[in-house]
Structure 1
Amino acid sequence: MTDFSEQDLSGSSFDRVDLSGSTFRGVDLSGAVIREVDLSNSRIRAAYFDGVRMHGVEIPDLEISGEVVRLVVNGIDVVPFVEAELNRRMPERALMSPTDVAGFWEAFGTMDRLWGETTDLARTLPPEKLHEQVDGEWSYIETLRHLGFAHACWIGGVVLAQKSPWHPLDLPWDEAPVHEGVPWVRRIKPDLHEVMDLRRQRRATVAEVLDGITDKGLGRRVTSATPFLTDATDLTVADCLRVVLNEEFQHRLYAERDLRALGAG
Structure 2
Amino acid sequence: MTTFTGSDDLRGARFEGADLRGARFVGADLSGVVMRGVDVADADVDAPWLLDGRSRLLVNGVDVTPFVDAELDRRFPGRAQRRASDPDGLRAAWAAVERAWDAALDRAAAMPPGTVDVRVDGEWSFAQTLRHLVMATDTWLRGAVLGVEQPYHPIGQPNDEYALDGHDPSVFAEGTPPYDEVLDVRAGRLAMVRDLLATVTAEDLAVPRRNPWAPQHPETTLSCLHTILEEEWEHLRYALRDLDAIAAGRAGVTEG
| TM-score using structure 1 length | 0.79
> 2:253: which partner in 1?
none
> 1:11: which partner in 2?
none
Report if aligned partners of 1:221, 1:236 keep a CA contact under 8 Å in 2: yes
Compared with structure 1, are the counterparts of its residues 221 and 55 closer, same or farther at alpha carbon in structure 2 (3 Å cutoff)?
farther
> 1:180: which partner in 2?
168
Report if aligned partners of 2:162, 2:169 keep a CA contact under 8 Å in 1: no
Offset at 1:158?
1.7
Offset at 1:209?
3.0
> 2:203: which partner in 1?
216
Amino acid aligned to 2:122: G
Percent identity over paired residues: 38
Compared with structure 1, are the counterparts of its residues 238 and 182 closer, same or farther at alpha carbon in structure 2 (3 Å cutoff)?
farther
Point out the more displaced range, 59-68 or 47-56. 47-56
> 2:78: which partner in 1?
92
> 1:194: which partner in 2?
181
Compared with structure 1, are the counterparts of its residues 161 and 76 closer, same or farther at alpha carbon in structure 2 (3 Å cutoff)?
same
Gaps of 5+ in 2: 249-256
> 2:153: which partner in 1?
167
CA RMSD of the aligned region, Å?
2.5
Report if aligned partners of 1:141, 1:191 keep a CA contact under 8 Å in 2: no
Amino acid aligned to 2:201: T
More helix by share: 2
Report if aligned partners of 1:141, 1:190 keep a CA contact under 8 Å in 2: no
Gaps of 5+ in 1: 1-20
The 2-side partners of 1:189 and 1:86 are apart by 32
The 1-side partners of 2:214 and 2:148 are apart by 14
> 1:4: which partner in 2?
none
The 2-side partners of 1:161 and 1:102 are apart by 24
Offset at 1:113?
1.3
The 2-side partners of 1:232 and 1:100 are apart by 26
Report if aligned partners of 1:108, 1:245 keep a CA contact under 8 Å in 2: yes
Q: 1:258 aligns with which of 234, 237, 242?
A: 242
Amino acid aligned to 1:197: D
Q: 1:137 aligns with which of 123, 127, 150?
A: 123
Amino acid aligned to 2:108: A
1:63 equivalent to 2:44? Answer: yes
Report how many residues are paired: 240
Offset at 1:65?
1.1
The 2-side partners of 1:216 and 1:53 are apart by 45
